[in-house]
Amino acid sequence: MDLLNTLVDKGLRREVPTRDEALAVLATTDDELLDVVAAAGKVRRAWFGRRVKLNYLVNLKSGLCPEDCSYCSQRLGSKAEILKYTWLKPDDASKAAAAGVAGGAKRVCLVASGRGPTDKDVDRVSQTIAAIKEQNEGVEICACLGLLDNGQAERLRAAGADAYNHNLNTSEATYGDICTTHDFSDRVETVQQAQAAGMSACSGLIAGMGESDADLVDVVFALRELDPDSVPVNFLIPFEGTPLAKEWNLTPQRCLRILAMVRFVCPDVEVRLAGGREVHLRSLQPLALHLVNSIFLGDYLTSEGQAGKDDLAMIADAGFEVEGADTTTLPAHRRPTEAGTDAADAVPDAADAEPETAGAAPAEEARRALVAVRRRGAGTDLPPNA
Ligand code: SF4
């Protein structure tokens, strides 16, 4: 296909595709899917080889958020039966992080629910960063604490945070449909504050919330303009008890097209397959490794992922290798701002809405069975999945 040859050439030159080219990737047929994956895979391998970076999420504070993000199980009024707890102590967070590092993660993403941290929260997280770095030499730390106030990014950087995550999630035009308590520009501003403070910026999206192809292209182009070092791509986990519980819009093929489009638009950036991987890609997860160079190991913030050992087996079986702590993730031209990235948000979660259980079609019942609330790891007495 001329389209794919053009996109590969542009990806290898770090040249931005046109909007029409990005839309055309999303419009390809199932017959063309393997050609799309192979083409985007060439771009992925050119910049990142066959390496897969592993990241590990630690939810420092879970639930009870005053914001109303409709995809999130932690929002105010959420009826999702997630774990709810306040700030983990630094030692407990460090133990959870160590499990991820022992499982092969080179980045730990420290996430807290809420609109944004208070200065006291920044102190707590600073102590947690110190505890983790003391016990896990070389680990990258990404903080994901919500909207930042003046000076907080600098304080987190000084405390040792390598990266800061704050996702744009969806297009500016539709942002008001998924959240009314803050807006798109607030999110952009926080990412820019993190960059200005010298942290590696991580910012991504959530697909599957009912958005159009044009919305997806819009948010990915907005991300390209913002120029984060890593872009997590989440696929909505329609938690029971959230307003988006009925949004089952994705197929494994659609997920692969979205990941390929993100790779073509952000060719040399760490593209991370994030929440919803198991739920939506299902048996096609290994194909996604040809598109992304980064995944989360084990569980997400409020939902369970596949066993960490299965993640490692999948990577090996697909012919990829886990990126070691002594390897720099980003290509050389992106390294001056290096550090960690991403964090957070990964998994769409739940929120407020009526659970619906009766009368679901068998396929939908099967999909729902894949959405398991996290009951182990941080905030529990059970060992983490890593
Ligand atoms: S995404 Fe973050 S800010 Fe929005 S409701 Fe969830 S925890 Fe709160």
pLDDT of residue 90: 95
Q: Is 350 in the pocket of ligand 1 (CB under 6 A)?
A: no
- Return the best residue to mutate from 60, 61, 68, 69 for the ligand 1 pocket (most ligand atoms within 8 A of CB): 69
Q: Is 67 in the pocket of ligand 1 (CB under 6 A)?
A: yes
Among 74-88, 95-109, 328-342, the range with the most confident prediction by mean pLDDT is 95-109
∠ CA 207-304-87, rounded to 5°: 95
Q: Is 146 in the pocket of ligand 1 (CB under 6 A)?
A: yes
Check residues 358 and 86 and name the one with the higher pLDDT.
86
Q: Is 104 in the pocket of ligand 1 (CB under 6 A)?
A: no
The pLDDT-based confidence of 338 (bands split at 50, 70, 90) is: very low
Span from the CA of 68 to the centroid of ligand 1 (angstroms): 7
266 is in an annotated binding site: no
Residue nearest atom 4 of ligand 1, based on CA coordinates: 69
Phi–psi pair at 156, nearest 5 degrees: -65, -40
Q: Is 61 in the pocket of ligand 1 (CB under 6 A)?
A: no
- Average pLDDT of every residue of the chain: 91
- Return the best residue to mutate from 62, 68, 73, 75 for the ligand 1 pocket (most ligand atoms within 8 A of CB): 75
Q: Is 117 in the pocket of ligand 1 (CB under 6 A)?
A: no
Report H helices in the chain: 2-12, 19-26, 33-48, 90-102, 119-135, 152-158, 175-178, 184-196, 213-226, 252-265, 285-288, 308-317, 362-368
14 is in an annotated binding site: no
| Residue 288: both structure tokens together | 């996604």
The residue behind tokens 């913002």 is 226
69 is in an annotated binding site: yes
Residue nearest atom 5 of ligand 1, based on CA coordinates: 75
72 is in an annotated binding site: yes
pTM confidence score: 0.91
List, for residues 133-185, the tens digit of each pLDDT value. Answer: 999 989 999 999 999 999 999 999 999 999 999 999 999 999 999 999 999 99
List, for residues 278-336, the tens digit of each pLDDT value. Answer: 999 999 999 999 999 999 998 898 888 899 999 999 999 999 999 988 889 999 999 86
144 is in an annotated binding site: no
**Confidence check: pLDDT of 5 > 50:** yes
Give the CATH class of 2-368. alpha beta
Q: Is 72 in the pocket of ligand 1 (CB under 6 A)?
A: yes
Which residues 6+ apart lie within 8 Å of 249 measured at CB? 208, 209, 210, 236
List, for residues 256-272, the tens digit of each pLDDT value. Answer: 999 999 999 999 999 99
Calculate the alpha carbon distances from 285 to 318, 329, 355 in Å: 10, 21, 28
pLDDT of residue 354: 34
Choose among 178, 116, 192: nearest CA to 147.
Answer: 116
DSSP conformational letter for 81: -
**Confidence check: pLDDT of 351 > 50:** no
List the single range of 69-83, 333-347, 355-369 with lowest mean pLDDT: 333-347
Choose among 90, 97, 113, 95: nearest CA to 58.
Answer: 97
- Return the best residue to mutate from 74, 179, 183 for the ligand 1 pocket (most ligand atoms within 8 A of CB): 74
Ligand 1 atom closest to the CA of 114, numbered from 1: 8
Choose among 123, 186, 180: nearest CA to 352.
Answer: 180
